[in-house]
Every structure is written in C-alpha cells, then in structure tokens.
Amino acid sequence: MNALGHDIEHHDSQLATCTSAGWESYDTCKRRDCDYTTKVELPALGHDFGEWSISIKPTCTEPGEKIHTCSRCLATETLPVDALGHDIEHHDSQPPTCIAAGWESYDTCKRYHCDYSTKVVSPPTGQHTPSKPVEKTITDATCTIAGSKINIVYCSVCGDEFSRTTASIDALGHDYGEWTVIIEPTCTSVGKETRKCSRCDTTEIQTMNTINHPFGEWIQTTAPTCLEDGEEIRYCSYCDASETRVASALGHELTKIDKKSPTYTEPGNSEYWTCSRCAIVFHDELGIHEFDEQDSFVIAALKDMNVLNLPSGLEVIEEEAFAGIVSEAVIIPENCREIGPKAFADSKNLRYVLIPKNVTWIAENAFDGCNKIILDIEQE
C-alpha cells in the first residue's frame, strides 16, 4: 500500500517578545503520531532598558533607589543607591557672654533638611565684661584749685553700668605766655621781664641777669712772632670794660733748600730748612736744631779753601791716616771703599769732605773732633 503523504496544516508566524520566543509561519501534519513540522523558533529578545533614574532620593543616613524601564514591554528594574553621608561644615567656638549663650567648635551638615549637628550650647555667664572707663567731670580744676570727676565703667557687651569711682583732678597750674622785657639788662645792670597766665590773668615778674659785654673786634697790641706769643685787646661798646687774650706764636714756616756741592769757583751748601718769616736756618724739617756761626750751612768755593785731594788709587783710608790735618776740604777718590776709625779725627779746620758713592763703610768715629764739618756723600 502506498504512503499516505502528509496532511498539511499551516500555522501563522508569531513575533518573539522580551521574555517569550517567537517563530516564522510553518507547516505540520494533522495525522496523529506524525511529528512532521517546519517550525523554526525565534529566541526571546530580552529587555531593552533605558538610562537609570532616581526613584527614591538617598539622604545623609538613608539609602535611596534607582529604576530603569524596558522600551518594549515597560518592564522595570530597581537597584539601591548608597546613603550620601554628611557634608560637614565646621563652625568655630563662641564663648558665652553675660547675656548670650556660647558653644565649643562644632560640625553641621550642609544639606537641606539634614539636622545633623554636634553643637553643645553653654548658657550665658551672667558676668559683665568691663570696658575702658568713661570720665565725667563734676567740678572743673583751675590753675590753683583741684577739681573732681567720676569714672564710670560699662559692660562692653550689654552696656550695663559695671562700676563708678570718684577721683580728683589736679590743679592745672598757670599757663604762662612768653616773657616780655620791661627793663632791658645791660652789661652793668640787671633787667626785668614779665609774663601772664592765659587762664587766670596772674602775672609773674623776674630779674634778668646782666648781659655779656658787647665787645668790639680784637685789636692787636703786640704782634706774635714765630716763637713768641703776642697780645690782642677788645673794648666794650657800652662801658669802659676791656679784655685781652694771647695771640699764639705763629711757628716757623719752613722751606727746604736742597744740598748743593761746591765747585772750584762756586760755593755750595748743605741741606737745610729756612723760615720765611724770621729767616732762621735749621738742620731739620721740624725746625728744632738751628745753625750757628760755628756750624754754618754754607760751603766756600774750593778755590777759597785749602783742599786736600787724596790719591786716585786709594781704596781704604786706614785708622788715623789723616787725623789732625789742617786742610779745610778733602776730596776722596772714586775708588775708595772704606774710611777707617778716627781717619780724620781732630781736624779742627776741616769744613767739607766729598765722599764718593763707592764708599760702603765709614767708621762711626771717623770724623771725631771735626766740629764744623759738612759731609757731602754722593748718591747712587
């Protein structure tokens, strides 16, 4: 017997939903025990949720809730939102006063409708804070009589009177103006002056000391010299008084004259200093040691003196080699290096010795007893 073939029954399609599967249109066999089908299932779509939104706002201490909704089936889903915790604001302490409460430093929450606070209030102290005393005069003081006043202390917080004391005001003393001369003093008689108090018209008179003599210019009566003091005088223009003073000695005004070696025809001189005022001649720049007639600074021309020219080959002048010579001048040769002890001692007439620059040693007593001698030592 041939197969019957399927007895086809057609089924319409069914769309899938968020939670249920769907299918395309399909066929089945109507006969019992035949499982023929062309059905192909479509899987459930799942929910298409939108953005989360707050459904219950969280507070500082209570959690909230958020929700989102499926755009296809309007199914909803919720999740908890954590409590926010307090948004702390710190407050400084405020000490209590006599009329107002105070508190230690404390914290509160900044969020609206949150009453979180650690504030602990201290009641008013009832103790006043004194301010600077206010002075009120009862009786004014005068120049000679004391006055009186009240010092009132108020509370600097509430303004209530804290205390009051009575005190005296010292007498003011006279407020004198400038002195006015009524009798001018002179160098021989006292004067008088007066002044008046600006408050009570009391006047005061006092004696003015005699004034110093109105002396004129100083007049020189004895002129000072380099060494001697002079004298000056001046006279009072009002009376016959006069006074004198010393015009100090001027001191020397010295000019240095450099050493000049004599020549055959021209005289020379030793180094010396001369005063432009008194013409005194000195050995030194301080003006202490004067030249005298026995110790002249002038050296005669060589033609005018008895000159001893020592031999050119002489290198060492031995001890007492020329002691006691009568010559007035000695010319030591260029080759000489040493002048020995007492080489020219006791040469009373010896006035001038030319010593060349090559001489390196001169005995300390080489010229003992030569009182008027001038040593002309050549320089390098």
> Band of the pLDDT at 340, cuts 50, 70, 90?
very high
Is the pLDDT assigned to residue 143 strictly greater than 70? yes
Residues of the chain with CATH 3.80.10.10: 305-380
> Band of the pLDDT at 293, cuts 50, 70, 90?
low
Q: Give residue 332's pLDDT.
A: 95
Is the pLDDT assigned to residue 24 strictly greater than 80? yes
> Band of the pLDDT at 187, cuts 50, 70, 90?
confident
Q: Which residue has the higher pLDDT, 297 or 331?
A: 331
Is the pLDDT assigned to residue 310 strictly greater than 90? yes
Give the class (CATH, top level) of 305-380: alpha beta
DSSP string, 122-185: EPP-----B-PPEEEEEE---SSS-EEEEEEEEBTTT--EEEEEEEEE------B---EEEE--
Range 247-264 average pLDDT: 90
Contact 66, 47 (CB under 8 A): no
CB neighbour class for 255 (10 Å; exposed up to 12, middle 13-18, buried from 19): exposed
Strand, coil or helix: 311: coil
CB neighbour class for 138 (10 Å; exposed up to 12, middle 13-18, buried from 19): exposed
Tokens linked to 188: 């021989």
Q: Give residue 306's pLDDT.
A: 94
Range 67-92 average pLDDT: 89
The pLDDT > 70 percentage for the chain reads 99
The pLDDT > 90 percentage for the chain reads 35
Range from 272-281, 335-344, 363-372 that averages highest in pLDDT: 335-344
Range 243-261 average pLDDT: 91
> Band of the pLDDT at 144, cuts 50, 70, 90?
confident
Q: Give residue 265's pLDDT.
A: 93
* Residue with tokens 């089924």, as numbered in its chain: 11
Range 285-305 average pLDDT: 82
Is the pLDDT assigned to residue 205 strictly greater than 60? yes
Q: Give residue 295's pLDDT.
A: 58
Q: Give residue 177's pLDDT.
A: 87
> What is the SS3 string spanning 48-90?
CECCCEEEECCCCCCCEEEEEEECCCCCEEEEEECCCCCCEEE
Q: Which of 133-142, 173-182, 339-348, 359-368 has the lowest mean pLDDT?
A: 133-142
Is the pLDDT assigned to residue 90 strictly greater than 80? yes
Range 197-210 average pLDDT: 89
Is the pLDDT assigned to residue 33 strictly greater than 60? yes
> Band of the pLDDT at 227, cuts 50, 70, 90?
confident
Q: Give residue 193's pLDDT.
A: 92
